[in-house]
Amino acid sequence: MVRQPGEGRGKVEESALRAPVGFLVFAASLRAASLNAKLARLAAQEIEACGGQADLAAMRDFDCPSYDQDVQDSGKVPPGAVLFRERLERADAFVICSPEYNFSMPGVLKNAIDWVSRMHPQPFNERHGLLMSASPSLAGGNRGLWALRVPLEHLGARLYPEMFSLAQAGEAFTAGGDIANPELRTRFASGIRGFMDLVEAAKHYPCAKRQWIEFPGEPGLPAGQAARMTPGR
C-alpha cells in the first residue's frame, strides 16, 4: 500500500496499513523495579499500537551461566540461550532496552549474546535491531548502547542508526508508566515508528530493499559487491 508522508499516522490507521511484522522486546535487567523494563513495556505497547506484534520478554528467561566453551562443546547449552535464540528467530526484529553498567552493557546481556553467537544459524545475523536505554544519569545510559552496538554489529545485526536514551529515568515516567515529557514521548514514538517502517520494508518490499547500499551481501546485489564486510560470518 502506497502511503504519502504524514498520511495514516493515527494509531487506528497505522495498524490497518502495516503489513505483519514481529518484534522481540526485552530489558537487559534482572531487577523487578527496572527502569529499562518500564521502557521495554512502553516500546511493546507502542509497537502494538502501530500495528506490529510485540513479544515482550524478561531478561530472566534468557539468563545463562557464564559462557564456558567446555560446556558448549559437551552439548549442554543453557535453556536461557536456547530460548533467547528461539524468540529471536520467531521475530523479524528486536528491541533491547539496556541499562548502562560502567559505560558499557550489563554482563548478563553480553553473556547471553555470547552463548547465542555460537549457534548456527546465528540469530542476530541479518536481523534488525533498535537499542534503547534508561538511566538515572543525565546521559540516560547512552554510552552503554554504543558499547552494545559493537558485538551486535559484529554478529551482523542491522542496527537502527537512531537510539533512544531516557535520562533521569527515576523521575521520567508517569504513575501510569508513560514518558512524562511530551517532547521525549513524541521522539520515543517516532523512533519506534521509523524502525517499524524499515523492518516492514525489509520483510515485505524487497524492491525497496535492493536500493539500500548499507547491507552488502544481500541477495540481488551484483556478485562483485556481495562480499561480507565482517570476517567469520
Tell me which residues touch ligand FMN (CB under 6 A): 27, 29, 31, 34-36, 99-103, 135-137, 139, 141
CB of 178 to ligand FMN, least distance (A): 17
Give CA–CA dist 161/130, Å, rounded: 8
CB of 27 to ligand FMN, least distance (A): 6
144: amino acid identity, one letter: G
Q: List C-alpha distances in Å: 150 to 51, 97, 144.
A: 30, 16, 10
Q: List C-alpha distances in Å: 7 to 1, 13, 105, 144, 196.
A: 12, 9, 38, 35, 16
CB of 195 within 8 A of CB of 187? no
Residue placing its CB nearer to ligand FMN in the complex, 172 or 202:
172
Residue placing its CB nearer to ligand FMN in the complex, 92 or 100:
100
CB of 133 to ligand FMN, least distance (A): 8
CB of 30 to ligand FMN, least distance (A): 8
Residue placing its CB nearer to ligand FMN in the complex, 93 or 132:
132
Give CA–CA dist 175/184, Å, rounded: 16
**Residue 134 pairs with which residues in a beta bridge?**
166
Residue placing its CB nearer to ligand FMN in the complex, 51 or 99:
99
CB of 165 to ligand FMN, least distance (A): 9
CB of 77 within 8 A of CB of 115? yes
Residue placing its CB nearer to ligand FMN in the complex, 173 or 215:
173
3-state class (DSSP) for residue 31 = coil
173: amino acid identity, one letter: F
3-state class (DSSP) for residue 74 = coil
3-state class (DSSP) for residue 122 = coil
**204 alpha carbon, distance to own chain's centre:** 19
CB of 173 to ligand FMN, least distance (A): 11
Residue placing its CB nearer to ligand FMN in the complex, 27 or 189:
27
E-state strands within 158-198: 158-159, 164-166
CB of 113 to ligand FMN, least distance (A): 17
Residue 35 has, within 13 A of its CA and on its CB side, a CA count of 22
Residue placing its CB nearer to ligand FMN in the complex, 24 or 169:
169
